[in-house]
Amino acid sequence: MQNLIEPHGAKTLKPLIITDINEKNSLIERSKKLKKIVVNSAAASNIVMLGAGYFTPLSGFMDKANSFSVAEKMMTSDDIFWPVPILNLAHDVQKIESGDEIALLDPNIDGNPVLAIQKVNSVEKLSEIEINNLAEKIFGTNDAEHPGVKNFLSLGNNLISGDIKVLNFSYFPKEFPDTFATAYEIREKITNSGWSKIVAFQTRNPMHRAHEELCKMALERLDADGVLIHMVLGKLKEGDIPGNIRNEAIRKMVELYFPENSAMITGFGFDMLYAGPREALLHATFRQNCGCSHLIIGRDHAGVGDYYGAFEAQEIFNKDIVKKSLKIKIFAADHTAYSKILNKVVMMRDVKDHKKEDFVLLSGTKVREMLSNGIDLPKEFARKEVADILMHFYQSKR
């Protein structure tokens, strides 16, 4: 009998989207008379994630006490495990004060339509020292060269806390109609598939041969029913490949190279943090909310540059608080590469007799360089059909 993993901190999902059309229309009408604030893209993506049930059991944006409790101990003030503060930071709070009901406007759609209504619990100013302390705890650094830190430090220092009611999912359903999915839609799809052991694969990149084989290894070694290929559809850092191109490339790869009914392709509306270990925990938490029993965590998961150790994002799952709080498990993967000796993709730790020259290894920078220059990627690195989609994209930018 199918028995899906329970959501985090709750018996059932708690999506904050308003589905009753009368209530929604009433809120939209009411929003016209409310104080308004155009939120930043990071807060907008938090709204989408809260609305879609991904951030169950949270009910809105955290206040200062909760933010620091989560940053320091990964626990909210009322003892709910959560790895990253969920914040609505602003530069200018105008005349917003505790007790107000305010309209949160979408920064990513022309005309800034209302995205959510927030009941303001508090408006608190953070000092520069406090903002830097939060960054240090979340990202493990407050180096402004880190893209996540750079963005975080640009968001403002006024913290608007309180519960929200979400009115829509911003641009994601329109821009990614076949891919964007809520946590409750994914649970329903999994239930309808008859799967009970599901491994999630997080990606912000097109999937090359190594990613493909990693998913297949996890399916086989865990004896899983299926893999949820779950891609980031929100804002990325400069140089990352846009969501629509990744979507096309991944769909082509699954269509041609995965067994039928073994992979589910979906996406979620979140802006990447590049917060390494802490973000890996967040990814696991909301994959549990999707109904996944496992999450693949590879080398430098959600990392950037040299800010994190190769396996720090795996090691953080050994902390007692994490083991006690999350039901989802990880599939800890090593670096994968194509073996010239075995003629297949392997985990490098599984082939101790190999030397560096026995592998086909390409950096992301090298791949982008080759594609930009019209040089075909080696077949050992990327499926031709995937490489062709990427080549067309890079050539069109010239």
Ordered by start, the domain boundaries in the chain are 21-170, 174-268+274-396
Query: CA 87, CA 272: separation in Å to the nearest integer?
Result: 14
Backbone angles phi, psi at 54, to 5 degrees: -65, -35
248-256: long-range pairs with CB below 8 Å, 24+ = 248/389, 249/206, 249/207, 249/386, 249/389, 249/390, 250/203, 250/206, 250/207, 252/383, 252/385, 252/386, 252/389, 253/207, 253/212, 253/383, 253/385, 253/386, 254/229, 256/383, 256/385
Q: Which of 112, 133, 204, 251 is catalytic?
A: 204
Q: Which of 142, 205, 251, 368 is catalytic?
A: 205
Query: CA 278, CA 146: separation in Å to the nearest integer?
Result: 15
pLDDT for the residue numbered 335: 85
Active site residue 204: yes
Residues 21-170: name the CATH superfamily: Sulfate adenylyltransferase (3.10.400.10)
358 SS3 class: helix
251 SS3 class: helix
pLDDT for the residue numbered 363: 67
pLDDT digits (tens, 9 = 90+) for 258-313: 999 999 999 999 999 999 999 999 999 999 999 999 999 998 999 999 999 999 99
pLDDT for the residue numbered 364: 67
Question: Residues 337-363, buried b or exposed e (16+ Cβ, 10 A)?
Answer: bbbeeeeebbbbeeeeebeeebbbebe
Q: Are 331 and 297 in contact (CB under 8 A)?
A: yes
Reported pTM = 0.95
Helix (H) or strand (E) holding 147: helix 147-153
DSSP state of 7: P
Give pLDDT < 70 ranges for the chain: 1-2, 362-364
Active site residue 187: no
Give 394's contacts (C-beta < 8 A, 6+ positions apart): 368, 371, 372
Q: What does the DSSP assignment read for 35-74?
A: EEEE--HHHHHHHHHHHTTTTTT--EE--HHHHHHHHHHS
Partners of 75 in the beta sheet?
Answer: 81
- CATH code linked to domain 174-268+274-396: 3.40.50.620
Q: Residue 208: what residue type?
A: H
Q: Tell me whether the omega of the peptide bond preceding residue 85 falls within 30 degrees of 0, making it cis.
A: no
Give 213's contacts (C-beta < 8 A, 6+ positions apart): 336, 344, 345
pLDDT for the residue numbered 84: 98
pLDDT for the residue numbered 141: 97
Query: CA 123, CA 64: separation in Å to the nearest integer?
Result: 9
CA–chain centroid gap for 57, Å, is: 17
The two structure tokens encoding residue 227? 């893999």
| Pair type for strands 60-61 and 89-90 | unpaired
Q: What is the CB neighbour count within 10 angstroms for residue 238?
A: 5
Q: Are 41 and 104 in contact (CB under 8 A)?
A: no
Query: CA 180, CA 169: separation in Å to the nearest integer?
Result: 9
